[in-house]
């Protein structure tokens, strides 16, 4: 009945919040992600935005450009480097070309398990690498889970490396993955994630490799129905902030962002575990041919030359990664 503006302290607080939100020093952090809302990464960044908003009294908020609205991950990273975009969440897979050392995480079977990967990225090595991003114009805020990646294609189940012969497999935009594919006997073709569905549909490639949640949410099973559990890569996600923008923020605000980022990582890991299980169950229900009969030792052996070649380059890092438990 009444549309009177509430008086007193309620109004005072509302006006104060509005003034801060729109006022000097307020920052709406634009952050991009190739995944849709509802995916663990986008939800974790939304959670981070809520935390920041609450803790800063409206000074900071996050606006998510999800579902590849801003294109692929390579472009997103470039935008962040330029300061045109404040933040992005990408796969470590595309960070290797910016800070080479990240390629130590992009080698096939370099991590023995998810636990091993966690111990590495949460420990000294992971934190050291995040700090190295500064030379690339990026502030590394944290890692997130992405499980293990396996092959899928439209032709047949993959049991051993020989099954990949003659197959064109889309890989992330990083030359290291092209070498990985050659090592396994297939052909790796780098294509942006936002162009992949069409590339498979039109036969530019026969398949790709990814974790079950990406395969499922992107509906790649519609055009590539054989999913084989090779689990050849455990590549974490990473979220980064623009150094250009970061350097203009007061240290206490930088600290607040770092703390919220830590909580976002934790949140994503919880969401991830549930999503992975759900995706596998859904895929089975959709009639996808999931092949668990994979000769993993043969894949590990076939990729040894790639690990050796790059292992030389990242020797110290790899020795340290191997020494981490898990």
CB of 190 to ligand BDP, least distance (A): 10
Q: Which is nearer to ligand BDP, 256 or 261 (CB)?
A: 261
Interior angle at CA 147, CA 131 and CA 174, nearest 5? 60
Q: Do 227 and 280 contact (CB within 8 A), yes or no?
A: no
Six token digits for residue 238: 């990473």
Q: Which is nearer to ligand BDP, 160 or 268 (CB)?
A: 268
Q: Which is nearer to ligand BDP, 144 or 318 (CB)?
A: 144
Q: Which is nearer to ligand BDP, 237 or 253 (CB)?
A: 237
CB of 193 to ligand BDP, least distance (A): 3
Q: Which is nearer to ligand BDP, 35 or 59 (CB)?
A: 35
Q: Which residues on neighbouring strands pair with residue 153, listed in sequence order? A: 207, 226
CB of 12 to ligand BDP, least distance (A): 44
Residue 92 CA to residue 98 CA, distance in Å, equals 10
Q: Which is nearer to ligand BDP, 90 or 224 (CB)?
A: 90
CB of 140 to ligand BDP, least distance (A): 15
Pairing, β 87-91 against β 27-32: parallel
Six token digits for residue 53: 């908003």
Using CB atoms within 10 A of its CB, is residue 319 exposed (0-12), middle (13-18) or buried (19+)? exposed
Q: Where does this chain bind ligand BDP (CB under 6 A)? A: 34, 73, 90-91, 146, 172, 193, 210-211, 214, 237
| Residue from 105, 101, 137 nearest 121 by CA | 105
Return the residue nearest ligand BDP (CB atom). Answer: 193
Six token digits for residue 286: 């959709």
Q: Which is nearer to ligand BDP, 81 or 218 (CB)?
A: 218
- Three-state SS at 227: strand
| Residue from 61, 55, 88 nearest 72 by CA | 88
Residue 272 CA to residue 278 CA, distance in Å, equals 10
Residue 94 CA to residue 207 CA, distance in Å, equals 19
CB of 172 to ligand BDP, least distance (A): 5
CB of 192 to ligand BDP, least distance (A): 7
CB of 131 to ligand BDP, least distance (A): 22
């Amino acid at each position: 009945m009444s549309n009177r503006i509430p008086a007193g302290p309620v109004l005072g607080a509302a006006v104060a919040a509005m003034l801060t939100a729109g006022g000097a020093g307020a920052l709406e952090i634009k952050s991009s992600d190739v995944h849709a809302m509802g995916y663990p990464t986008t939800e974790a960044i939304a959670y981070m935005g809520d935390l920041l908003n609450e803790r800063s009294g409206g000074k900071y908020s996050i606006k998510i450009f999800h579902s590849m609205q801003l294109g692929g991950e390579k472009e997103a990273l470039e935008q962040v480097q330029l300061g045109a975009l404040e933040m992005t969440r990408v796969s470590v897979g595309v960070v290797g070309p910016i800070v080479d050392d990240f390629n130590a995480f992009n080698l096939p079977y370099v991590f023995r398990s998810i636990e091993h990967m966690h111990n590495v990225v949460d420990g000294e090595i992971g934190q050291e690498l995040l700090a190295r991003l500064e030379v690339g114009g990026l502030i590394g805020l944290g890692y997130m889970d992405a499980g293990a990646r396996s092959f899928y294609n439209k032709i047949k189940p993959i049991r051993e490396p020989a099954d990949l012969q003659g197959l064109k497999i889309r890989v992330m935009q990083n030359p290291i993955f092209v070498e990985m594919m050659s090592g396994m006997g297939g052909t790796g073709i780098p294509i942006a994630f936002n162009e992949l569905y069409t590339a498979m549909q039109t036969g530019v490639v026969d398949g790709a490799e990814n974790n079950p949640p990406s395969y499922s949410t992107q509906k790649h099973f519609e055009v590539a129905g054989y999913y084989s559990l090779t689990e050849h890569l455990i590549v974490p996600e990473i979220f980064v902030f623009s150094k250009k923008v970061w350097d203009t923020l007061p240290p206490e605000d930088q600290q607040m962002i770092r703390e919220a980022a830590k909580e976002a990582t934790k949140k994503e890991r919880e969401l991830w575990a549930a999503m992975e299980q759900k995706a596998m169950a859904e895929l089975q229900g959709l009639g996808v041919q999931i092949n668990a009969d994979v000769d993993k030792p043969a894949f590990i052996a076939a990729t040894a030359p790639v690990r050796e070649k790059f292992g030389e380059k990242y020797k110290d890092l790899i020795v340290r990664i191997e020494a981490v438990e898990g």
